[in-house]
Amino acid sequence: MSLQLYNTLSGKKELFEPLVPNTVTMYVCGPTVYNLAHIGNARPVVVFDTLFRLLQTHFDTVTYARNITDIDDKIIAAAREGQRSIESVTDEFTAKYREDMAQLNALAPTLEPCATHNIEAMLALTVTLIDKGHAYESAGHVLFAVESMADYGKLSRRSLDDMLAGARVEVADYKRHPGDFVLWKPAAADEPGWDSPWGRGRPGWHLECSAMIRAHLGETIDIHGGGRDLIFPHHENEIAQSRCAHGGDYVRYWMHNAFLDIDGEKMSKSLGNVRTVRDLLQHYRGEVLRFALLSAHYRSPMNFSAELLEQAESTLGSLYSTLREVQDIELDVDVPLAGEAFYQALNDDLNTPVAIAEVHAMARQLHKASAGERPVLKARILAA
């Protein structure tokens, strides 16, 4: 059975075919580890974990990388506020992030590179961009020259002028163009920094992902995922860096999940409605949170609410109750996934709402089934 995925770059569903036969490389932007993960952070984790599992039913080798951003202005600020070392902050919240995502039944990624462990790769990429005329040094900074790339903006489908009008772009006197973005910046004496040809400093956020992808997965990967908020500037700038440095394709399929609101409002500290995964796990089991996150298609906006969680808990409870009715039935039936409606739904751009509906349809059949029919139906449900 073929797998269709919606590619943000083309704006349509496409047949998924990996660059290397039977081998898939996938990268998803991970957390900046300065506080607890909220439920919005969990949505891409659950979405791409589901895709990771699906890909493993199609291909022998699936390498899934999700980075840890462990150097950032927010991390430095959190360490100062708590009078702690940066390492203690990043170690604590990296561990808690992994614990929380495991509670959502998310598999650990194949690779989990940390930014601070890949500084040499970032320096090498920066040097390449300077040598090729796509970056320049100014006042201790190294910046990417956006005008050096003819089709900059292709992913977000906006011209450079549109981007500057619609986004918060730092305009500094050391930039040749207001849209130029930082690859490397100076570090203050009391901040973490690394020696470089341009002085002691640290990498820009966009540079980190491009460098880690090349170092761990190669110059061209199959799938790059993340939230829609990352399309511009982060993913647009990743494309610029990587394509200008190495030529050719950078990512073949771009996938982005939609936003998540809380009770009909944008989640924000100012509204006081940020819901951390760790807090929600005090009230709901991890599979309930996961089920709720998968109840909407990943490209559809989601309203996360107590009602949604109660519905997810009730629906899962009903499914578990049906399975308990047949817990004594031994399974000796192999279920070919290709013929299952839930599997067909997942292969149609990860259509989890339809897949869930198909599983519950099977549960209703199981409840009414004869003794002879029950082993097969139970096996089909468990295969899902």
For the stretch 239-267, pLDDT in tens is 999 999 999 999 999 999 999 999 999 99
139-191 confidence digits (pLDDT tens): 999 999 999 999 999 999 988 877 666 555 557 889 999 999 999 999 999 99
Mean pLDDT of 217-236: 98
Q: Is there a cis peptide before residue 192, judged by omega within 30 degrees of 0?
A: no
DSSP conformation letters of 134-174: SEEEETTEEEE-GGGSTTTTTTTT--HHHHHHHS-----TT
Is residue 58 pLDDT above 70, yes or no? Answer: yes
Rounded to an integer, what distance in angstroms lies between the CA atom of residue 170 and that of residue 177? 11
Closest CA to 384 of 364, 358, 353: 358
pLDDT at position 375: 74
pLDDT at position 160: 80
Residue at token pair 């956006």:
146
Radius of gyration in angstroms for the set of CA atoms belonging to the chain, rounded to a whole number = 23
Helices (H), the chain: 39-58, 73-82, 86-103, 119-131, 160-166, 205-216, 236-246, 277-280, 286-294, 306-325, 341-346, 352-368, 374-383
Rounded to an integer, what distance in angstroms lies between the CA atom of residue 313 and that of residue 216? 39
pLDDT at position 321: 84
Closest CA to 320 of 369, 374, 378: 378
38-53 confidence digits (pLDDT tens): 999 999 999 999 999 9
pLDDT at position 357: 93
Using a cut of 0.75, tell me whether the model's pTM lies above it: yes
Closest CA to 35 of 73, 83, 89: 89
186-215 confidence digits (pLDDT tens): 999 999 999 999 999 999 999 999 999 999
Q: Confirm if 30 and 69 have CB atoms less than 8 A apart.
A: yes
Six-digit token string for 368: 């009414």
Mean pLDDT of 8-21: 98
